Chains A and B, each alone.
Chain A
Amino acid sequence: MKYVIIGNSAAGIGAVEGIRQVDGKGEITLISNEPYHTYSRPLISYLLLGKVTEEKMKYRSDDFYEKNKVRFLHATATGVDAKEKQVVLDGGERIPFDKLLVATGSSAFVPPFEGLDSVKDKFTFMCLDDAQNLDKALGKDKRVLIIGAGLIGLKCAEGILKKVANITVIDLAPRILSSILNDEGAGIVQRHLERKGIKFRPSCGVKSFNGNTAVLDDDEKIGFDILVLAVGVRPNTALLNGIAKIERGIVVNEKSETSAPDIYAAGDCTQTVDVSSGQNKIMALLPNAYMQGESAGFSMAGSEKSFAKAIPMNAIGFFGLHVITAGNYTGDVYSKTAGNDYKRLFYSDNKLNGYILIGDVEKAGIYTSLIRERTPLDKIDFALVCEKPGLMAFTKEERAAKLS
């Protein structure tokens, strides 16, 4: 059996580990357009912060490819020949496959701003090369403008704050982290970041760039030396254009099969069902990518491991303030605010839909599990679990099943 995996990040690595749990012998070729040993992309901000080294960014041990008998190929896949079952590389070489996994991830979305070409030092912040290029441009006298107050833009800000003169973050949305926080929660995190020295311009767009100046929607001008574009990401789906069904991302089922035979997809390039809302969406998150990749590996090797409990979920911290969120924020709300700790639980129809925890995040996984498992809330002591997440909220029989 010839397995080919395109992508060397969480989903691709998950697939290798999935395949090898089922098939110890088949040939695995992993194609990566980066020359590096598999590394953790979310760690690029920690690299700039000095909290990790490139060595410590490795997602798996040095002997990973050897141990798993993986042929590592540094090349860019430019096409898939579904009929001949071959992957076409940039040099023209063709790699035959019996089972193919597309785990191509996502790319930074750069809007067509007027005058963007006139900006000399502009960066996206997705991969190791981006971080290294940005790092070279940093300096104590540099003013940084970050477009996008999402997870990527703000982790970048945290990573470089100590190395630059100042940072301004602007976003079209009225609040920061708009995809994972409500107004109140965003306010807490924003004030925390402002106390550290980061400036924000919410509800604000850029009309155009002119060299080192950004002209905002209201015609105000902001001068900067370094521009970071963190507006959003787009799934890398192009390889399967015309081959498999693509909506916003590559469409896969819970076995990670695409609509094309023997072609699978996993990770940020796919869209999957969010079980908290039942909606199909792109959940570009590392844990989901790994588990979906592992599920794909099982399927490719002829076994089965369903990946059917995906929900949006994020654990993120800025300068020691931790934020954990999951699910969606619809339904009735349980609220608790105590000092710097902020908790909101969202529930309806006897199910927990989502939560936001800021500060005290102890045992957050109990809530995550209630969402993922769609646990009927009348079967647990919901009032207790709202107050204090724990196994105590479950029935005696459930507790015994979990602990014995």
Chain B
Amino acid sequence: MKRVYVNEKWCLGCHLCEYQCAFAGTNGKDMARSLKNIKINPKIKIEEKDGVSFAVSCRHCHEPLCVKGCITGAFSVSGGVITIDHNRCVSCYTCILSCPYGAISPSDDGAVQKCELCVKTIKGTPACVEGCPNGAIVFEERG
């Protein structure tokens, strides 16, 4: 399956991916209008230190500890994509305890959130990839 991969060599640390992610989540048409006065809570997050930066989002693991450990069954895997049923999440944070990438975080609707490869957005393809100005985030089949 196609996954999001990052190459820190090309990451500018511009945080645009975070804004694209937050914007995709709103399903709005205009980024400035959709994100105005909003403190964004993206599912992809930049880590940066001493001139090094890179984006981290869900790896959609083959052996997903979040899915296996979920106490409610809110996580599921379909076609390799791991998604969360927000209605069934009780925010116990067992997934935050489990994820070795730190890629799961609390959302604004009382559930947890993580990258779902934009499968639930209008566009259907990862917004962070399209919005990266330097090709540091790609959506590829790498086996």
**Do A and B assemble together?**
yes
A: residues with CB less than 8 A from B are: 14, 40, 42-43, 46, 51-52, 56-61, 286-287, 290-291, 294, 313-317, 322, 324, 326, 361-366, 368-369, 384, 389-392, 396, 399-400, 402-404
How many residues from B make CB contacts under 8 Å with A? 35
Query: Which B83-112 residues have a C-beta within 8 angstroms of A?
Result: 87-88, 90-102, 104-105
Inter-chain CA distance A58–B73, complex, in Å, is 8
On whether A402 and B59 interact (CB within 8 A), knowing A40-B72, A43-B72, A392-B47, the answer reads yes
Q: Does B71 contact A (CB under 8 A)?
A: yes
B residues 46-95 with Cβ under 8 Å of A?
47-49, 52, 54, 56, 59, 65, 68-69, 71-73, 87-88, 90-95
| CB-CB under 8 A for A317 and B102, given A43-B72, A326-B97 | no
Q: Find B47's partner among A316, A326, A390 (CB 8 Å cutoff).
A: A390
**Which residue, of B7, B8, B71, has the highest number of chain A Cβ atoms within 10 A?**
B71
Residues of A with C-beta under 8 A to B54: 391, 399, 403
With a cutoff of 8 Å between Cβ atoms, the chain B residues found around residue A403 in the complex are 5-6, 8, 54, 56, 59
* CB–CB B56/A40 < 8 A: no
- Contact for B92 among A291, A316, A363, A390, CB less than 8 A: A316
| Assembly CA distance A60 to B73 (angstroms) | 6
The residues of B that contact A369 with a CB separation of less than 8 Å are: 100
**CB pair A52 B68 closer than 8 Å:** no
Contact A365 B100 (CB under 8 A): yes
Q: How far apart sit A384 and B52, CA to CA, in the bound complex (Å)?
A: 14
Q: Which residues of A contact B69 (CB under 8 A)?
A: 286-287, 290-291
Contact across chains for B96 and A324 when beta carbons are under 8 A apart: yes
User: Are A368 and B100 within 8 A (Cβ)?
Assistant: yes
Are B88 and A287 in contact, CB atoms less than 8 angstroms apart? no
- Specify which chain A residues have a CB less than 8 angstroms from the CB of B6 in the assembled complex: 403-404
B residues 13-52 touching A (CB-CB < 8 Å): 47-49, 52
CB <8 Å contact, A365 and B68? no
